[in-house]
Amino acid sequence: MKKNIFLGLLVIGLMSVSCRKDTYENVTKPIDISIQNEYDEKAIQQFLKDNYFDDRGKIVEFSSTDTNDDNEKPLSDYNPVTLPDGTVYIIRSDAQPDSGELVGEDDVINLMQSCYTYVATNEEGFIKLRSKYPFQNTIDGDGVPIKDPLFFHADEKMMKEMNVGKDYFEIKGFKEAIQNFKGFNLPDEAGYNLQGVIIVPSKSAFARSTNHYNYTGYSLQDRTFVFNFQIYKAQKRN
């Protein structure tokens, strides 16, 4: 009898651990959604002032102590475009392919990227993007482009199996903005020269939803995405 009780408790314990692994970590306390949207907008504009591109197009934050970056142009000087949903994108004019077509909404793309998520918060009257977490990095990771990312194009088979819609996977602000860029035709091992940046406010990503694909192990609720990327390949989907 004692053995049966022990086995029962062991099973319950394992189930509890499994559930905890699938539970997102709440890193911020939600505020009124209209206020969050306002914070996102203001924090994105501040981000554009606080950062610049290095010589390979990677985003770097201005230093408050080092004068070596004093002559760098902030991202806000690169003609950022704001879409109706609040997504902002910047095209580095000298880092685009000489030919090719714009990315289509159903294309298969390979991305080399540095991507982080943030929460826009107000601390002592200063609104900016804080609580930085990585999201599917390749430049800061294994150096291999992401192939056909789900956040751009949801897999039909997975949607059917999981009984979910595209918004479970796709980041709509990114999907719309990336269609303003052309793809290269580069091998995985090619060195990067990043084409630009796409900044997606939380309302155009997963907003308040906690029901999204577990990309990272933490909740993407209220998170703004900063994609700094190069499209290594783009081709029509069969």
Positive/negative CA dihedral, 65, 71, 72, 73: positive
pLDDT (tens, 9 = 90+) of the chain, 238 residues, equals 444 444 443 444 444 433 433 444 445 567 999 999 999 999 999 999 999 999 999 999 999 999 999 999 999 999 999 999 999 999 999 999 999 899 999 999 999 999 999 999 999 999 999 999 999 999 988 899 999 999 999 999 999 999 999 999 999 999 999 999 999 999 999 999 999 999 999 999 999 998 999 999 999 999 999 999 999 999 999 8
Provide Rg for the chain, Cα atoms.
20
d(CA 230, CA 75): 17
Give Cα 128 to chain centroid, integer Å.
Answer: 17
Measured CA to CA, the distance from residue 225 to residue 215 in angstroms comes to 13
Domain architecture of the chain: domains with CATH = 29-235 (3.10.50.40)
